[in-house]
Amino acid sequence: MNAETFADDLRNKQILITGASGLICSSFIDLLIRYNEQGAHISIYAMSRNEEYAHKRFDAYWDNPLFTFIRHDVIEPLPLDFPLDYIIHGASNASPKRYATDPVGTMKSNLWGVSNLLELAKEKKARLLYISSGEVYGEDDGIDFVETHSGYVNCLNPRACYPSSKRASETLCIAYKEQYGVNVVIARPCHIYGTDIERDDRAFAQFLRRVKVGEDVIMKSEGRQVRSYCHVEDCALALFWILLRGSNGEAYNIANCESVVSIKELAEMIARMGSKRVVLDLLSEEEHKGNSVIQRAVLKPSKLESLGWKPRLALEEGVRRILDSFT
């Protein structure tokens, strides 16, 4: 199925996107705008706490009559007086620094946010797509994760604030489905990357920012951790497949099987492509607290691929695009 057919599926629909100015959801909105240029007439409601950044990110269509920005924090109830067909809930503290400095806020944002959005979906009879995380799988013996897997998360470690609250949020989604009949699907993205690196404090963005300013890549560990990666454009398109073709109550991994590397391999790739070196440095205490302890986080996207989705951008091509955007 051609991705452009989603324009027909969404014709005249009303969609709320939370976390709208984030990496994933802003790319999702870009696709919605593209569908509207094809005549889909989708009403887009973009919700975020940061209006200043959102205005900058969506400046090209801020005054578009089909685009409405809503400044709101999802931990507060959402009294919206217009109908909705779909809700994309992507608001979350997806930041290692925040995990270390504000674990309470991280948990509240995830748990209270999804609770408020589920209540809204129940009220509006809208389908909810919850953007969870591959971190829900925790740590295991090195196997690639499928959607039925559940590994170990140390609940006594404050760093568990993120994966534990994401797990609980998924369970709350399923509870609303069973008890109230809410139509819900769950996306579990791997490590998503794109050109928006300035507000991202993950290793990938840190490496790229160093190259952008002409400096060597600094690696804060031996880099043995292995991760799945997926370009944000492929991830945004995957959300459409899950939203419109996913089964009620099911979760779907988003990952590119051809983009699985260690942190060290990633650092070396970015340094090589940017004509720089890799330099080893020590983690600060705060950075150590925010880092994931998971050694291997590789997601299998077979279930999503069975719907028809296929990734288009391999990791090296995706990195090249980002580096080219610096010039």
User: Domain segments of the chain: what residues?
Assistant: 3-196+229-258+297-314
Q: What is the pLDDT of residues 25-65, one digit of tens each?
A: 999 999 999 999 999 999 999 999 999 999 999 999 999 99
Q: Tokens 């400046």 correspond to what residue?
A: 59
CB 104 within 8 A of CB 145: no
CB 299 within 8 A of CB 259: no
Q: Alpha-carbon distance 163 to 137, whole Å?
A: 8
Q: Which of 151, 162, 167 is nearest to 297 (CA)?
A: 151
- Ordered mean pLDDT values, 10 residues apiece, the chain (327 residues): 73 98 96 95 97 96 98 94 97 85 93 98 98 94 92 93 96 98 98 91 92 93 92 97 98 97 96 94 62 82 97 96 90
Q: How far apart are the first and last CA of the chain?
A: 35
Q: Alpha-carbon distance 177 to 145, whole Å?
A: 24
CB 294 within 8 A of CB 152: no
Q: Alpha-carbon distance 6 to 309, whole Å?
A: 12
pLDDT number for residue 95? 80
CB 15 within 8 A of CB 87: yes
Could you count the other beta carbons within 10 Å of the beta carbon of residue 143?
12
Question: Cα-atom radius of gyration of the chain, to the nearest Å?
Answer: 19
Angle between helices 315-325 and 263-273 (to 10 degrees): 40
pTM for the model stands at 0.94
Q: For 3-196+229-258+297-314, CATH number?
A: 3.40.50.720
